Amino acid sequence: MDRVNIDLWTFDVGAEMSSPEACVAQMRDRALSSWDNGADIVVFPEFAWMALERFVEGPQGTKAVARLFWDDLWPGVRGALSRPDKAVLLGSAPFIDDAGALRNRAPILSEGTVIHQDKIHLTPWESEFTGGGPLTIWSFRGLRLATVICLDI
């Protein structure tokens, strides 16, 4: 089996950015830079997409972030970061499931395939979220991988 290089990024949700698209550009550019410098898998931290919160209004801020990310931004992110022989774990973002429950979801692109992992075990301050599951096992270059978020370890 060949070596797999993993690049880990921090992401300051309070960093200056002028628009939701600027937030996407910061993460996209970091992933592309990592891949250009030899990384095979790029990993961003939990709740990285909460940087979008400043661009939504109203009492349902977290659900508005979910709609902004998944409805408006995700299609472009997916298109920009779907690459053969590369993977990216894009931190996590709020997600509204079919029952209307809010999940802490990690979007993953592995060689263009969309995968996700919902956080299973929530912290006490994530009271507006519902825990997810099961643990998703995915493959990359013959390796079997799982994404664990915070307390899921």
Domain range annotation of the chain = 6-152
Would you tell me how many other CB atoms lie within 10 Å of the CB of residue 143? 11
For 30, what's the count of Cα atoms within 13 Å in the CB-facing half-sphere?
22
Residue 133: per-residue pLDDT:
84
**Residues 13-65: tens digit of each pLDDT:** 999 999 999 999 999 999 999 999 999 999 999 999 999 999 998 878 999 99
Residue 1: per-residue pLDDT:
56
Residue 132: per-residue pLDDT:
82
Residue 86: per-residue pLDDT:
98
**Residues 87-128: tens digit of each pLDDT:** 999 999 999 999 999 999 999 999 999 999 999 999 999 999
- Give the largest Cα separation in the chain, rounded: 51
Region 125-141: what's the mean pLDDT? 94
88's tokens: 């990216």
6-152 belongs to CATH 3.60.110.10: yes
Instruction: Give CA separation, 19 vs 68, 95, 132, in Å.
Output: 12, 20, 30
Provide the β-strand partners of residue 139.
144
Pick from 88, 71, 98, 101: nearest CA to 33:
88
pLDDT of 140 strictly over 90: yes
What angle, rounded to 10 degrees, do the helices at 74-81 and 20-36 form? 20
Provide the β-strand partners of residue 89.
43, 108
